[in-house]
Amino acid sequence: MSRAKKAIAMQPLDRRTMLKSGAMGVAGLGLSSLMPAWAQTGTTGIRPGIPMLSGDTIALEIGETPFTVGGRTGHAITMNGTLPAPLIRLREGQNVRIAVTNALDEDSSVHWHGLLLPFQMDGVPGISFPGIRPRETFTYEFPVIQAGTYWYHSHSGLQEAMGHYGPIVIDPADPDPVAYDREHVVVFSDWSFMHPHLIMERLKQSPDYFNRQQQTLAGLLAGEGQTLDQRLMWGGMRMMPSDIADVTGATYTYLINGHGPAENWTGLFRPGERVRLRMINASAMSIMNVRIPGLPMTVVNADGENVRPMTVDELQISVAETYDVIVTPTEDRAYTLVGESVDRSGMARATLAPRLGMEAAVPPLRERPTLSMRDMGMAGMADSGDGTTDHAAMDHDMSGDGAMEHSMRDGSLAPGVALTPGVEMIAPMPQDRTGDPGLGLNNVGHRVLTYTDLIALDPNPDPRPPSRELEIHLTGNMERYMWSFDGQRFSEQVEPFRFARDERVRVKLVNDTMMAHPIHLHGHFFEVVNGHAGRHPRKHTVNVLPGGFVRFDFTADAPGDWAFHCHLMMHMHAGMFNIVTVRPLEGGGA
């Protein structure tokens, strides 16, 4: 080994060393010296560190791998044999070729979530390419034109739920405006030993199959939760106030970097360091509430785009979103990193510490949240103002010609949305909920991130006002487990959402259901309209709360056909999916 290589190999793996190593490439240094901080800093668990891949040419193989967590072993679909898949580290301005070999007995694919690239490289079978057949190799090739934290995953069947996902970090070509001394990639995910096809079957048979937090007779008699009248009223609507998540801790183990709560993945720090946590929610179905008790988090990046620093104590990260935060632990002690499922049926847990083997107290699961009239889109009629329900007003609205009944029988509240068996309700008074912290986080007593807190660090690149507005309704019927856009499932041969190239459009997403939906647009970023004109946060995924709406401004600057869908995997596969088609103006060039 040369003197230079030996010196690099002996240095601690901080940000400076990592960037130098990434520039030299895997071939020049050997894999062990290139493992990122998230892989090298250890665990008391059972799996070795997960490798990093870098350079202009990368090889991935999709295969089947046993996966063990909590003392049980199951069947996973992985890339290069690890769960999560290897960290891919790129640099803005490079060109990359990624050869993906499919060793499965079924078709597969890789979608580069959040990356801006030619649509033929986007990795969605049947839309942007035919998929990767068994024992075949497909080479993705594209320029890297952005920086930030992203991820990659299968877009074939339900493979993503079985472990087919991994993180991407792209270092900026110019100096990073975010100063930090050390970083860790933190991948949240959910894992079940029940096959995802069986999970879907259970949900279709009984949508509350995994909801084990319903009110019991004993609780009712003890005066806990709802009163009898309230329970009968919700039952008459065929709805449950505890219906926060379709799939819960009844079957899921919540993971951080592939490790269960008992395995205590540990990220190291030296007291006084600025530590960057690159957080990715790669779950199939689980929105997570993230906090580090005793350690504030300063949000500096959302979905790969820099934002003005905002210090909070907790944030809700929806499925497919990413957030980068800076933490500065000053004490020589351990801190618990908590990823609590949105319904509080389970928890992912890891540790930040100066040394391996250290632990901090793990907070108990908090009381489960419940839905209110605000989550029905009826906040103006029966919400008491503090997140609880005014049941007297609810009684009124559910009777006679009340607005709830009107909304379910009269399509005038959502022109163009047919009230079919797949549309359970239309929210009569949806609210802009970008200022809400997320389900269950209104009264936690500390600072919680909201979308209105996010301000883009740089001005938005397209200052033109939108030329038109497109309203899209997120619709469904929980009892039938049917999910759709505007009452039409993708399987029903729906018309794509069509845009002219470079057209500027305001899209309004209206959630007519009582569940949150993380909506993802492939191949583009959009600006979430949150009151910071000119510096709206640019995102590729936005969480639309029940009974609420989100507006975003969108420039259709990438020609081709692009997937547009809810990123809750079972919702997408049940029909909440469509295509965004961007075409040149008639008579214009490409």
Question: pLDDT (tens digit, 9 = 90+) per residue, 280-307?
Answer: 999 999 999 999 999 999 999 999 999 9
Which tens digit of pLDDT belongs to each residue from 540-557? 999 999 999 999 999 999
The alpha carbon dihedral of 189, 195, 197, 203 has a sign of negative
- CA angle centred on 367, ends 362 and 372, rounded to 5°: 145
Residue % of the chain over a pLDDT of 90: 70
The average pLDDT across 567-571 equals: 97
Contacts of 563 (CB under 8 A, 6+ apart): 111, 122, 124, 127, 128, 155, 520, 522, 577, 579, 580
Most confident stretch, 192-206, 378-392, 550-564:
550-564
pLDDT of residue 241: 62
For the purposes of burial, counting CB atoms within 10 Å of the CB of 392, is it exposed (0-12), middle (13-18) or buried (19 or more)? exposed
List, in order, residues 6 or more apart from 346 with CB less than 8 Å away.
248, 249, 252, 253, 254, 340, 365
Q: What is the mean pLDDT of residues 435-452?
A: 93
Reported as a single tens digit per residue, the pLDDT across 209-237 is 667 665 555 555 555 555 565 556 555 55
At 389 the pLDDT is 43
* Token pair in block for residue 301: 């990046």
* Residue 180 pLDDT > 70: yes
Indicate the pLDDT class of residue 394, thresholds 50, 70 and 90: very low
Mean pLDDT value across residues 181-198:
96
Give the phi and the psi of residue 398 in degrees, each rounded to 5: -90, 0
Kindly indicate the confidence band of residue 371, based on its pLDDT and cuts at 50, 70 and 90: confident
Query: So what's the pLDDT on residue 30?
Result: 30
* Selected residue with higher pLDDT from 55 and 407: 55
The chain-wide mean pLDDT, for the chain, equals 84
- The model's confidence at residue 238, banded by pLDDT at 50, 70 and 90, is low
The more confidently predicted of residues 460 and 410 is 460
469-480 residue pLDDT tens: 999 999 999 888
Question: What six digits make up the tokens of 419?
Answer: 């009230």
Mean per-residue pLDDT for 500-524?
96
pTM: 0.86
Q: Give the per-residue pLDDT at 342.
A: 95
What share of residues in the chain are helix, strand, coil (percent, to 5)? 15, 35, 50
**From residue 523, how far is each of 118, 165, 312, 534 by CA, in Å?**
8, 18, 30, 22
